[in-house]
Structure 1
């Protein structure tokens, strides 16, 4: 066959393939891939799964668990997931770096804490100087909260040995003496306290009352190409959030089964979390200023850069 004809055939094949890919991505997906963390904060997702809420709306979902928010953000940036439950700072930081995602709902406020080893002699934030403190990951909300409270007490973060650690491993690491303290999300704060080897030095509500915590994010292309799926997802998210507020004991059991944690720990842990589906835009914009002060973002962001609340129903 003539080489010119082969070249033309090859070009046509590429065009057809590209057109097919375009059409595929522009169509509603058969399966929505949702990222989340191993956390009480993301109870709305666990409730929706346990109660079959997605199925009732005709949505097929696949969930992927991540160790911390920054890891989840890398996954959504590379299109491994469509929607994510994640902390506000990782979401905002990624948006500032050009990752095309938006906050489409809130998940919770507060819900983290600083825990120190019982008998360690650490009684104040100032006592953390020179100590080893575990965080989930640099850029996580707990990392930012720790830096905030250190600054409030005139402590340079460089004077604290801050290490990254998987949150579920923190209580045992504290018990074994491998770390002096940790800042984490629930239920691991309450777990260390109720197991008897940790004291809560400070809850995140004491660092910043009603602070934004986790939010729901989605890729811009997913929102624009699948508005009906996004509407149905958010309907489920709001329904599940309201269910948590009305049925906390039952939800504690659902979380317990999901995370493999004691029910009594979950009941106590949930008292330190404020579940909501409506984001406080003003408080999240305060986080933008804080992240810029810390040096995690380099430019100012507007609400239009961060939020897409078109499809969020009234809670």
Structure 2
């Protein structure tokens, strides 16, 4: 009887110890607070992390550089972030690995609804609202939209004005800028108000181009490989939910991002859910990293090198690791 009691006590202590350990070490996930990263919040709100037996600490952060700094400081284990910050920090020594895709599409160049500008080439000599030089979206703007697509020198042929995306629509409406390189839901908010039109939908020019990705530190991959696979299973479930339940997921997205209704040109109120539905015409979600996605990541790295944002050439083989996603698919 004493032996049995001691055995029961030891098992209880072991179980409690295991429980404490799990509580003390949640998988710390950071994500850029953007609509395209909806799979992270859907996985949390719909309980997909819990279904996989994963204890997570999910944090919404402002942008890619902030997330990379948190990773470098050891404050995060995994992140949902744009591709350019990943390889830019990789070139400086923070050797995270890209494990899966999060979304495709999201960006567009918009101009005032009554603007005479009808081509990208006509942006020469104009003012364009963009984001911080060297950031992920800036790489796409300078490398692809302006240099490759429009044949313009981004440093000489026009004036790129750095501003938060939330301010771009107002700047466009007030004539402070002639165009804006923005993303969702800001593009849809402006279009549905009737105050702008699309000059370039990047997702039409580059169908299904990847943007946000799931990344992890080598330390996380080494010490917690099973948790990484669980995370990617939850990630897949979240994407399936987004694609299979558009109305419900649109409601969740509108609520989390605190979208407000807008008034259309006909005076009718356009609901937050309708804004998300409009945004989904320019972006979507998928976990798989296809060969075309990896080729596009290489293209972004080449843009960054040519623009002087990284000082060495990189290959996708150094950064992309799909083995964990493959395990999560079994």
Give the whole-Å Cα distance in 1 for the aligned partners of 2:110 and 2:233: 36
- Are 1:314 and 2:329 counterparts? yes
User: Is this contact kept in 2: 1:102–1:306, CA < 8 A?
Assistant: yes
User: Is this contact kept in 2: 1:112–1:183, CA < 8 A?
Assistant: yes
Partner residue in 2 for 1:118: 113
- Are 1:299 and 2:309 counterparts? no
Q: 1:38 to 1:117 in 2, by over 3 A?
A: farther
Identify which of 248, 262, 267 aligns with 2:277.
267
How many angstroms does 1:224 deviate by? 1.1
| 1:291 partner SS | helix
Q: 1:314 to 1:283 in 2, by over 3 A?
A: farther
| 2:58 partner SS | strand
Unaligned runs of 5+ residues in structure 1 are 1-25
| 1:282 partner SS | helix
Give the whole-Å Cα distance in 2 for the aligned partners of 1:203 and 1:75: 32
Partner residue in 2 for 1:189: 187
| 2:198 partner SS | strand
TM-score (norm 1): 0.85
Aligned residue runs from structure 1 range 137-152, under 5 A:
137-147=132-142, 148-151=144-147, 152=149
How many angstroms does 1:267 deviate by? 0.6
| 2:90 partner SS | helix
Identify which of 124, 127, 130 aligns with 1:129.
124
User: Is this contact kept in 1: 2:23–2:55, CA < 8 A?
Assistant: no
User: Is this contact kept in 2: 1:107–1:276, CA < 8 A?
Assistant: yes
Q: 1:167 to 1:97 in 2, by over 3 A?
A: same
Q: 1:179 to 1:60 in 2, by over 3 A?
A: farther
Identify which of 14, 37, 45 aligns with 1:50.
45
How many angstroms does 1:29 deviate by? 5.8
User: Is this contact kept in 2: 1:115–1:181, CA < 8 A?
Assistant: yes
- CA deviation string 1:171-225 (max 9, x = no partner): 2332333333221221111111112212111111244233221111111111211
Partner residue in 2 for 1:30: 25
- CA deviation string 1:33-76 (max 9, x = no partner): 22222322111112112201112223232333333223322222
| 2:74 partner SS | coil
User: Is this contact kept in 2: 1:132–1:161, CA < 8 A?
Assistant: yes
User: Is this contact kept in 2: 1:83–1:216, CA < 8 A?
Assistant: yes
Identify which of 223, 227, 230 aligns with 1:229.
227
Give the whole-Å Cα distance in 2 for the aligned partners of 1:292 and 1:235: 34
Identify which of 27, 50, 63 aligns with 1:68.
63
Partner residue in 2 for 1:153: 150
Identify which of 293, 296, 303 aligns with 1:283.
296
Identify which of 156, 160, 163 aligns with 1:162.
160
How many angstroms does 1:248 deviate by? 1.6
User: Is this contact kept in 2: 1:288–1:301, CA < 8 A?
Assistant: yes
| 1:240 partner SS | helix
- Are 1:210 and 2:208 counterparts? yes
Q: 1:84 to 1:136 in 2, by over 3 A?
A: farther
| 1:271 partner SS | coil
* Backbone CA RMSD of aligned residues: 2.2
Give the whole-Å Cα distance in 2 for the aligned partners of 1:223 and 1:42: 21
Give the whole-Å Cα distance in 2 for the aligned partners of 1:63 and 1:172: 32
> Which shifted more, 237-246 or 122-131?
122-131
- CA deviation string 1:67-102 (max 9, x = no partner): 322332222222222211111112122212221211
Give the whole-Å Cα distance in 2 for the aligned partners of 1:267 and 1:51: 20
